[in-house]
Amino acid sequence: MASDVTAPRGMRDFLPADKARRERVLGVIRESYRRHGFDEIETPVMEDSARLHAGLGGDNEKLAFGVLKRGLTVEDLRAAREPLDLVDLGLRFDLTVPLARFYATHRAELPSVFRAIQIAPVWRAERPQRGRFRQFVQCDIDIIGEPGPLAEVELIAATADALDALGLAGCAIRINDRRILAALVRSWGIADADYESTLVTVDKLDKVGVDGVVAELSAKGLGDAERVGGTLRAIAELPDDGWALASDPPAWLDVAVYRELLAIREALPGIRLVFSPDLVRGMGYYTGTIFEIAHPDVPYSLGGGGRYDGMIGRFLGTDVPAVGFSLGFERILELVEAAAGERADAVALVYDDGAAPARLVALKRQLVQTGARVRLVRRARRVAAQLDQLAAEGFTRFAFVPDGASTAAELEFRELAPPA
Amino acid sequence: MASDVTAPRGMRDFLPADKARRERVLGVIRESYRRHGFDEIETPVMEDSARLHAGLGGDNEKLAFGVLKRGLTVEDLRAAREPLDLVDLGLRFDLTVPLARFYATHRAELPSVFRAIQIAPVWRAERPQRGRFRQFVQCDIDIIGEPGPLAEVELIAATADALDALGLAGCAIRINDRRILAALVRSWGIADADYESTLVTVDKLDKVGVDGVVAELSAKGLGDAERVGGTLRAIAELPDDGWALASDPPAWLDVAVYRELLAIREALPGIRLVFSPDLVRGMGYYTGTIFEIAHPDVPYSLGGGGRYDGMIGRFLGTDVPAVGFSLGFERILELVEAAAGERADAVALVYDDGAAPARLVALKRQLVQTGARVRLVRRARRVAAQLDQLAAEGFTRFAFVPDGASTAAELEFRELAPPA
């Protein structure tokens, strides 16, 4: 019977050691972002369904979990023409749509340039499959109200610092701009009407390679195969991380926008930026810079973001410039060393059956008042294994509670060696 | 247009100051519980619908938000006989049902006596009304696997310490036992079959008073009105917080259970326990002790809990003793002094339009590396008001960025006075 009882498919429980590790890593990220002048906010996990389905979430929008209206009747079922008719709320699929809604709601109470931290779960009704979770945590920072590149520079600096603080050496930030992509697509002789469709294909470059992209575009009847292949191959081989193009720019490059990216790079000495003119990022709402974190050990990105100047206007009625950077927390967690928690004073009081609760709790409370973490543990038959387990859980010392002891001074403490 | 854009009804956004205050208070509670040897865990926000609707959640079960199945079609709508047919998941309405499910799933990986912390949101599809939220945070501690009163004593000690750490002086813990309630109801000449119905009425005592309870029971045809009224009035006037009954016990009192409560009280010197034989607690799953936090300034409880020895067996197939204590975080938050956040070093760099992003971010990064929190702020027309606002947000010093400054050493810092 017990084997049936599990968390819902695609969702996870976190046991004490997992939970502590997750919170430690989130704490490092949060503190890094706070230092860079960002402020944490929180929104409800649900948004009104009409807002979630406003066409801003791209493919993720289709993965929003719908929440049934309150007090539905069988008659409502009969009258419904499609499942969404029964739904008035949905679980957020990202933190960007809720942030845009939040900003539209609270603009008057927020500083003119608002730097937001959001560290929170999101939900996607993915088909269950290995390594895809239906509930996972995102860590987003966004700057709203700053039209210039200062926002990009601050976001990237804060993100790079967070990655450093996590000990993730060797990360690079790939950067591009949607306006560079638009010029690139035009240089292939593709009409603006086919721009979105072209991006969908180019976005598969990491998976299918240059030949795959050329073949798919040809199959769609888009662009000259030779020109597309030549450009993409040249891009893959750009020297100096792509930053040597200004003096002799290739035909496909929007040089004015490239110079803006160069200025961002120059404002961030010590952080490795890679110009990636073939970087797409899936979301339709990006309007300018886009970026992504690459790590040498893994083939997928550890996070990304970009400028989405038109999105808040969809809720507010007035366009407000905005740019954000999201960390893929679950992927980052896998790469971060399983740093041991700080070994604060943690005491196990091992007692025998029959010890009076009043005496045990009196001892415990005395020790808690000294600032220690204290756990009462009934003595197991295999005490050595029990003590090893306590050490593994981070306990630093223990005492057997002797008969009749009623003050902590009567206890003899012994150290627990940290696990090898 | 903007005025329409709000969080979903009954749910709240938290702006930076609110969010920081909530996290500070949660941090105090979490640290208190950790010191007392409890470990934090996390479960998904959703559980399988069948588990949520297993009859363990009492009235709250009816308030579970249902989540629509993935990929529903119009045919599914037509075939459904009731709204729940379309639902395979639901948002948790409390943290106890998920904990019981979690324990059943992971029992083999957990210590034989498991002390859990859960600090997390829950959802209830309440009819929207003032002061009732549809998403709110609960803080639960539970001890699973300990049949004796040591569990109750540890839970109450940890809770009392958390309340102390929050500065909530004057709290009392009301305590009762479901077995005492059962004897009480029997003493009124009410059949066991009418026990639940009787409790529903007695549970209204705080709202309708003794006369109201007597009237409602009479209307139900339950019990002798005079006996019920006499007992309830006697209970309301018990001397010595109810702890003087052992030598000359009234007829309605289950003396053996009362002596168990006396022992719990004696194990907790310095904590005010009040024996409240008319305390019911709404949930049907309680099997033994029940308790509730009373605070002199408010008419409602700040939290409560009790023993629910039968519940885990519903998932596991084997009964495991369990007892829990839940803090009503939202109510507690209203009572906790708006303690100022720690004033850590927080620096505002005030710059003029036209300053180069590269220079600004270089200065910022130098200061961040010293451990400060740093925010770049464009100089406003009314600088004095701007500085006041920064002080109110917790910034401790500021500097105007002079033309051409590129190292922090060139900045002249001035203190920001904390807001009065």
When mean pLDDT is compared across A54-58, B96-100, B401-405, the lowest value belongs to: A54-58
Smallest Cβ–Cβ distance between A68 and the set B5, B68, B135 belongs to B68
Q: What is the mean pLDDT of residues B181-195?
A: 94
Q: What pLDDT is attached to residue B340? A: 52
Q: Which residue has the higher pLDDT, B266 or B131?
A: B266
Contacts A137 to B, Cβ<8 Å: none
CB B190: neighbour CB atoms within 10 A? Answer: 21
Q: What pLDDT is attached to residue B123? A: 97
Residues linked to residue B253 through DSSP beta bridges, in sequence order: none
Give which of A1, A4, A24 is closest to A14, Cα–Cα. Answer: A24
φ/ψ (deg, to 5) at B57: -100, 5
Q: What percent of chain B has pLDDT over 90?
A: 80
Q: Which residue has the higher pLDDT, B256 or A315?
A: B256
Q: What is the pTM of this model?
A: 0.92
Q: What pLDDT is attached to residue A203? A: 93
Q: What pLDDT is attached to residue B282? A: 80
- What residue type is B374 in one-letter code? V
Q: Is the pLDDT of residue A155 over 90?
A: yes
Instruction: Give the A:B interface size as CB pairs under 8 Å.
Output: 269
Strand order through the sheet with A346-351 = A373-378, A346-351, A397-400, A414-415
Give pLDDT tens digits for A320-340. Answer: 999 999 999 999 999 997 655
Q: What is the mean pLDDT of residues A43-56?
A: 91
Give which of B207, B227, B211 is closest to B219, Cα–Cα. Answer: B211
User: CA–CA distance from B166 to each of A293, B32, B38, B159, B338 (Å)?
Assistant: 41, 10, 18, 11, 11
- Inform me whether the C-beta atom of residue B211 falls under 8 Å from chain A C-beta atoms: no
Query: Chain A residue closest to B42 (CA)?
Result: A14
Measured between its terminal Cα atoms, the distance across chain B in Å is 37
Q: What is the mean pLDDT of residues B193-204?
A: 94
User: CA–CA distance from B110 to each of A237, A393, B107, B115, B117 (Å)?
Assistant: 53, 11, 5, 10, 14
- Inform me whether the C-beta atom of residue A83 falls under 8 Å from chain B C-beta atoms: yes
Q: Is the pLDDT of residue A343 over 80?
A: no
Q: What pLDDT is attached to residue A61? A: 87
Contact B89 A35 (CB under 8 A): no
d(CA B363, CA B370): 11
φ/ψ (deg, to 5) at A201: -75, -45
Contacts A121 to B, Cβ<8 Å: 45
Q: What pLDDT is attached to residue B343? A: 65
- What residue type is A335 in one-letter code? L
Q: What pLDDT is attached to residue A339? A: 55
- Inform me whether the C-beta atom of residue A44 falls under 8 Å from chain B C-beta atoms: yes
φ/ψ (deg, to 5) at A241: 55, 25
Contacts A76 to B, Cβ<8 Å: 83
Contact B267 A43 (CB under 8 A): no
Contact A150 B361 (CB under 8 A): yes
* Most A-contacting residue of B4, B12, B13 (CB-CB within 10 A), to test interface: B13
Q: Is the pLDDT of residue B2 over 50?
A: no
Q: What pLDDT is attached to residue A332? A: 95
Structure tokens at B264: 């719990």
Residue B17 burial (10 A CB sphere; 0-12, 13-18, 19+): middle
Q: What pLDDT is attached to residue B341? A: 55
Smallest Cβ–Cβ distance between A109 and the set B15, B157, B373 belongs to B15
Structure tokens at B22: 């909530």
Contact A42 B14 (CB under 8 A): yes
Q: Is the pLDDT of residue B301 over 90?
A: yes
Contacts A358 to B, Cβ<8 Å: 153, 263, 266-267
Strand order through the sheet with B397-400 = B373-378, B346-351, B397-400, B414-415
Give which of A7, A267, A409, A327 is closest to A139, Cα–Cα. Answer: A327
Query: Chain A residue closest to B128 (CA)?
Result: A70
When mean pLDDT is compared across A3-17, B16-30, B180-194, the lowest value belongs to: A3-17
Q: What pLDDT is attached to residue B70? A: 86
Dihedral angle over CA of B400, B402, B404, B410, nearest 10: -80
Contacts A107 to B, Cβ<8 Å: 2
Give pLDDT tens digits for A156-172. Answer: 999 999 999 999 989 99
Calculate ∠ Cα B348-B350-B353, nearest 5°.
150
φ/ψ (deg, to 5) at A135: -130, 125
- Inform me whether the C-beta atom of residue B186 falls under 8 Å from chain A C-beta atoms: no
Contact B19 A42 (CB under 8 A): yes
- Inform me whether the C-beta atom of residue A115 falls under 8 Å from chain B C-beta atoms: yes
Contacts A43 to B, Cβ<8 Å: 7, 13-14
**DSSP letter (8 states) at residue A355:** -
Q: Are strands A87-91 and B397-400 parallel, antiparallel or unpaired?
A: unpaired
Q: What pLDDT is attached to residue A341? A: 55
Measured between its terminal Cα atoms, the distance across chain A in Å is 37
- Å from B150 to nearest chain A CA? 5
d(CA A403, CA A344): 28
Structure tokens at A340: 């041991």
Helices (H) and strands (E) in chain A, counts: 14, 15
Scanning B237-276 for CB atoms below 8 A from A yields 263-264, 266-269
Residue A356 exposure: Cα atoms within 13 Å on the Cβ side: 14
**DSSP letter (8 states) at residue B132:** B
d(CA A84, CA A88): 8
Average predicted confidence (pLDDT) for chain B: 92
Give pLDDT tens digits for B121-169. Answer: 999 999 877 778 999 999 999 999 999 899 999 999 999 999 999 999 8
Q: What pLDDT is attached to residue A342? A: 59
Q: What pLDDT is attached to residue B61? A: 87
Average predicted confidence (pLDDT) for chain A: 92
| Residue whose entry in the numeric block shows the structure tokens 């756990």 | A375
Contact B395, B416 (CB under 8 A): yes
- Evaluated on CA atoms B223, B224, B225, B229, the torsion sign reads negative
